[in-house]
Structure formats: C-alpha cells, structure tokens
Amino acid sequence: MKDLYIIGAGGLGRETSWIAETMNQEKETWNIKGFIDDNVSVHGKVIDDYPVLGGLGYLSSLKEAWVICAIGSSAVKKKVIDKIGGMKQIHYASIISPQAVISRHVKVGEGCIIFPGNVITVDVTVGKHVLINPGCTIGHDVVIRDYATIYSAVSVSGNVTVGSATELGVGSRIIQGKKIGDRTIIGAGAIVIRDIESDCTAVGCPAKVIKRRLVE
C-alpha cells in the first residue's frame, strides 16, 4: 500500500478519504496517513479518524509520499500544486470511486478526484488535478483540461472542451460541441448554448457573461 496524504482537511478532504477507503475495499491501495492543511487551528486534531499532520511544509520532511489536493476552488488548487511542485519526492494520486462508471476509453491524469455516481463515456480526456463531484455525466470526446472543477449534477454533452482551472457550477448544462475558456466560472444551473470565453463568469439560461476578470 502507498502512503497517502490529503491536502485540505475540510469537507472535500473528508469526502476524499471516504472515496480512498472505498477503493481499499475493492483493492488495498492507500495507507491514508492524514490531512495536510495550512490552517494551524486544526493541527493535531483527528478528523473522521485521520490526524491533521501540519501544513504544506510537512510534506518537505517526507522521503516519499503520494498526495491528493482536495480543494474545490480551481484557482486555489493550482496555487497549492504550484507551491509544492518543486518537491521531487511527491507523487500525485488519483482517487477514483469504484462506483463511478467510466469507459476503458477514458484517459485520466494524475491528481484527479472522481466521485461515485458519475458516468464518463468514451474517448474522454481528463487532465491533471481535475475534480468531478457526484452525479455528473460526461459525453463522448469531451476534453477537460488541468485543474478544472465540475460540481455536482453537471451534464457535459459530447465534443465539449472545458478549459484549464474552469469551474462548472452545480446542475449546469453544456450542449454539444461548445468550448469554455480557461479560468472561467459557469454559474449553478446555467445552460451553455454558445462558446464562453476565458477569464469570465457566465450565468443564466442561456448562459451570458456577466463579469470579466483581468488576467494577472
């Protein structure tokens, strides 16, 4: 079994430990060591049976470890991964529920979390550090780029491209063939019927851009 450290001791971190436990029920894979969190107020506490070991600096003391970043915000998740990117002893786990229905013709990058209740069909490419929450459907030939977060009950039709560090809100719908740019937020319940540019927020039915952000 591989030693696993979960970055983030919040709700998503606890859910991730649960998914890892269900993986172990199928095949012993992960020795869950505990949580890593920069919030010093939780250091030393035990949360859902696992200790909070310390902040990100704790990882530098390890000879070798597998980690998973359980942070929902795409922007924050990318910053955390960038921060620990120089730690050569760190490997990135993918935590994928055995109760997710995933075609053998799907490519999943490192550092992903895929919840139970998802259906991912054929010839889908999922990038690195992608989060797919429960109850989503991902159609054929979809491309989901690195650091994207897909919240619960999202429907992504075939031939859609979801940009890097983009977030699809709860219950949103993307019709076939559309492209959503990088670092964009699609609001909860939105229906995307046209391409959406990078660095913006789009809401409504149909989805319309209501906010644009300056690229740093």
What's the CATH code of the domain at 86?
3.40.50.20
Q: Of 63 and 134, which is predicted with more confidence?
A: 134
- The tens digit of pLDDT for each residue in 27-44 reads 999 999 999 999 999 999
The verdict on residue 216 lying in a domain is no
Q: Report strand pairing: 191-192 vs 173-174.
A: parallel
What's the CATH code of the domain at 105?
2.160.10.10
Range of the domain at 43: 2-93
Mean pLDDT score, 8-21? 98
Same domain flag for 69 and 126: no
- The tens digit of pLDDT for each residue in 41-67 reads 999 999 999 999 999 999 999 999 999
Same domain flag for 121 and 168: yes
Name the domain boundary from 30, 62, 93: 93
Same domain flag for 61 and 117: no
Residue 143, beta-bridge partner list: 125, 161
Name the domain boundary from 77, 93, 109: 93
The verdict on residue 33 lying in a domain is yes
Same domain flag for 33 and 111: no
Q: Please give the tally of structural domains in the chain.
A: 2
The verdict on residue 214 lying in a domain is no
Helix then strand count (H, E) for the chain reads: 2, 25
The verdict on residue 114 lying in a domain is yes
Name the domain boundary from 93, 112, 134: 93
The verdict on residue 201 lying in a domain is yes
The verdict on residue 215 lying in a domain is no
At residue 215, the pLDDT reads: 64
